Structures are given as C-alpha cells and as structure tokens.
Amino acid sequence: MAFGSGRERLTPYAYSTLTQVLAQISLRLDDPNNVRWSTAELTLYLQEALRTWQSLTGYWRNRFVFNLVLDETFYDLAQLTGSPVSYSITDAYLLSEMLYHLIEPQIAGGSYVGTDMFSAADFTNALQNRRNQFLEETGMVLTVADSMTWPSPGQGRAPLPDSTIDIRRAAWASQVTGLYSTVWRSSEFGARAFSPSWATSPADPPSEYSIAAEPPVSLQLIPPPLNPGAIELLTVNAGANLNPLAGVLLGIPDNLSWVVKWGALADLLGKEGQAHDPDRQKYCEQRWREGIQIARIHTSVVNTLLNGVQVFTNALNSLDAFLPNWQNDANGPPVDAALASWNMFVVHPAPDSNGPYSVALDVVQNAPVPVLPGDFIQVGREELDVIVDYCVHLADFKEGGGEFLNTTGYYDNMLRLAGVYNERLHAAVDFEDAMGSRAIRDESLVPRRVPVEQGG
C-alpha cells in the first residue's frame, strides 16, 4: 500500500569520510595496505558499529511525515514508503559479514564455495533459527492478521496459522451487527470462576480468549460465539523463509540485525567438528543475550503530531480499556494515537473521506551508514574514537584466540561512552523515560513474559 511520505533532512556532520575512517581502522590493525582486511570487509564492520551504537543510544532521531489512508487504523511503520525505520538488512548481507569473520570465501556466482567446515545450509539454518528466536524473545514486530472467519457459531476452538508465535490482541467482528469488540485474554480456569456454564452458553460477542488448555497454534473463545463472525488478531509471527544466497529481508529492525548475526555465529561455532570454537562461541552467545535485552527496550516513536497538533502517544491497551468501542466510532479526523509495539502504530477514529490527514512522528531512525567513499560519518568527534575501537574489535574476531579476546576492552569502551551519552540525555530531557518507552508501554500493561518463581 502506497503512502505519501516525507522525511526531514539530518543536519550532517561533515568532518570525516568513509575513506578516512577506514584508513584509521586499517592503521589501528597495522594493515595500511588492506592485505588482511579489505575495505569491503571493514566497511561492513563500520556499518555494524554504527547500528550497534544506535541500538545502545537512540542517537539519531528524525521526523517522518505520512498521510493516513481512508478507513485504515493500523499502520506498520516499517512498511511505509520512505519510513526511516524500514527494513533493509537481508540474510545475504549478514552472510557476507559472517564469511569474513570465519575466513570463508565470499559468495561467487550465487553459490557458496567455502571450505568443508560449513555448508550453505549451515548458514541458512543458523540465520533463520536465530531470526525466528529473536522474534519470539522480543515480540517487538507485530502483524495485523487478516480477519479469520470463525468456523461456525457455537464452536469454541479454532486453529491458527502455524506461523503464529504469540497473540497480542484480539477483536471480534460480528457479521450480524458489523461491530467490533475487544476480546480480552483469560483462561478456562478464570472463566469457570465467573461463569461456570460458559462452555455450553454461546454468546455474542465472545468476551475473552484462552491459549491455556489448547493445542499449539489454536485459540479458544470464551464463551463460544453465538452468531457468525470473524476474529481479528494482532500477532507475533515467524519470519519469511531465508535464502542468503539470494537475499531475503530479515524483517527485524536494522539497528538490531547484529543480534541475529552473533546468535547465528554462536550456533556455527558450537557445532561439533573442526568448526568447534568454545571461546568464541561463548562470546557470540553472550552478545546475542545482551542484544535480546537491548531489543526488549528498543523504541521507535518518541513524539506524535496529528494534522500538526501534538497528541499523547498511548498504548493500544489503554485505548482498548478507556475507549472499548473505539473501532466502531464513526470515521473522522483522527484525534488519538497509540503504539502496540515497535512497529505497529494506531489512530482513532479511522480517517474519513474529508482528508488527507497527516501524521508526523519523531522516531529513533535506522542508523545512517556510509556506503560511498565520500560519505561523511554521522557521529560527533567525541564519539568517533570508540566507533573505531569497536571496528578493530570486530575485525580481530577472525584472528581468534587471545588476540581477539584481548580486544574486548574496545567493545567495553563503546559501551561505557554509550552509557555516558544516555546519562547526558536523561539529565537534559524532561520526561525522557516516558518519551523513550512508548513502544514498550503496551507490553508493560499486557506482559508477554512473567518470570516463573522457583518452586512455584
């Protein structure tokens, strides 16, 4: 679906180009002629360093303007034309960096021609498994599933697509009244406490759903629907099948693509045989786990304007709770905005035909990465040194052993300065915590994960 869009231009830093920074990294590696590390390889490391820096700090923010669509309430920010948080990282991109890390030949003619330590299937499986695990553990990418017609009135359970990982919201669309109603999550145990005969007393609309006693990827409506209708779901889904020899979008935030890379490397270096490398495997797994924790607090929208008027960015659950029939309100100029996750933006009411209506979002954007030799590196002079440090650390990964592990302090340098930047921002910005938590507010109200008490 096409959307009108606009993006404000960043005021650029213009003091150090890609070529100049690559030269700095090469000198730090004592490889000024790029014999051991090519400029193509070092460019990938610099790009990863900038994305990692962005995931740690939210350093680059930008305004994104787009027009709303008639009758449309849900908008996937990563899919909008011109979006500064769109997906651009493919499995082929990560594969190229991994091949450099493992001193394997780059893809040639669409074929993997590497050593017998790894097969093409090893890379594909590692990337796909960790990408799907990332989606499950973070729950940050949501999809509005096409409304699924319920099999029949009176039937309580129905299967879901096998790509469904998690259900984050449900709404019933009655075919009799044409109205939507929120279906709240519950369980058979809770339903029995308040309505003992619910299972044999169909009603319209169903008020709750459960996954507590059901088989995998299936749903129980409580009570069963009395009349025909459809269920609209907001879900976490498994991603597309990957094919790194061709190039498939990962479907996760660009700024966090490095997390999947480290997870996949942990799998590859943990396999038995000549590829087994316990020290680097442990390091990669640690980076994966750190990345998952960073992803779980990663944000997108920090400020919202509807038709030029600033509005509060609600959680979708708050909209459901305080305006329970909001999806049934007559179309008009949108006055409310909400986030359900990092990517899922919602407006109320649905736009009418008197538009166009515009939205301006201040977002934590994809890191601007250099591609051409003359591209300027978009960080301040005070931060560039730790970015170079981290690039040296990434480059030394393929050296392995003590030589690599001795460079972990360079990674620590970047972490420390990222902490300093965050402390400065926290001190300088009133309500910085509130502005920076909009994308995870819905999950705090409707938790996806609750620690299980030991022995409970």
Please give the pLDDT value at position 147.
84
Mean pLDDT across 424-436: 83
d(CA 236, CA 131): 13
pLDDT in the model for residue 2: 32
Burial class (CB in 10 A: 0-12, 13-18, 19+), 157: middle
Q: What is the pLDDT of residue 432?
A: 75
What 3-state class would DSSP assign to 24?
A: helix
Which of helix, strand or coil describes residue 254? helix
Look at the block and give the residue holding tokens 């309430």: 73
Per-residue burial over 108-130, b if 16 or more Cβ lie within 10 Å, else e, is eeeebebeeebebebbbebbbeb
| Mean pLDDT confidence for 50-66 | 97
CB of 145 within 8 A of CB of 74? Answer: no
Query: Residue 1 — very low, low, confident or very high, per pLDDT cuts 50/70/90?
Result: very low
Using CA atoms in the order 138, 139, 141, 147, what is the torsion angle rounded to 10 degrees?
A: 170
User: Is the predicted pLDDT of residue 454 greater than 60, yes or no?
Assistant: no
Question: What is the C-alpha separation between 184 and 186, in angstroms, rounded?
Answer: 6
Confidence of residue 4 (pLDDT cuts 50, 70, 90): very low
In the chain, the percentage of residues whose pLDDT exceeds 90 is 86
Q: Which residues make Cβ contacts (< 8 Å) with residue 165, sequence separation at least 6?
A: 132, 135, 136, 139, 235, 236, 237, 238
pLDDT of residue 404: 95
pLDDT beyond 60 at 3: no
Average pLDDT score over residue span 408-419: 97
pLDDT at 130 over 90: yes
Q: Where are the alpha helices (DSSP H) in 154-232?
A: 188-194
Question: Which pLDDT band, with edges at 50, 70 and 90, does 243 fall under?
Answer: very high
| pLDDT tens digits, one per residue of 289-309 | 999 999 999 999 999 999 999
Pick from 134, 32, 141, 80: which is nearest to 439 by CA? Answer: 141
Peptide bond into 205 cis (omega under 30): yes
Tell me the pLDDT tens digit for each residue of 73-109: 999 999 999 999 999 999 999 999 999 999 999 998 8
Q: Is the CB of residue 227 less than 8 Å from the CB of residue 176? A: yes
149 vs 114: which has the higher pLDDT: 149
pLDDT, tens digit (0-9, with 9 covering 90-100), for 187-214: 999 999 888 999 999 999 999 999 999 9
What's the confidence (pLDDT) of residue 11? 61
Q: Are strands 309-311 and 208-210 parallel, antiparallel or unpaired?
A: unpaired
For the chain, the straight-line distance linking the first and the last C-alpha, in angstroms and rounded, comes to 48
Average pLDDT, the chain: 93
Split at pLDDT 50, 70, 90, the class of 431 is: confident
pTM, 2 dp: 0.94
CA separation (Å) from 322 to 173, 317, 319?
19, 9, 5
Reply yes or no on whether the pLDDT at 158 is more than 80.
Answer: yes
Rg, C-alpha atoms of the chain = 24
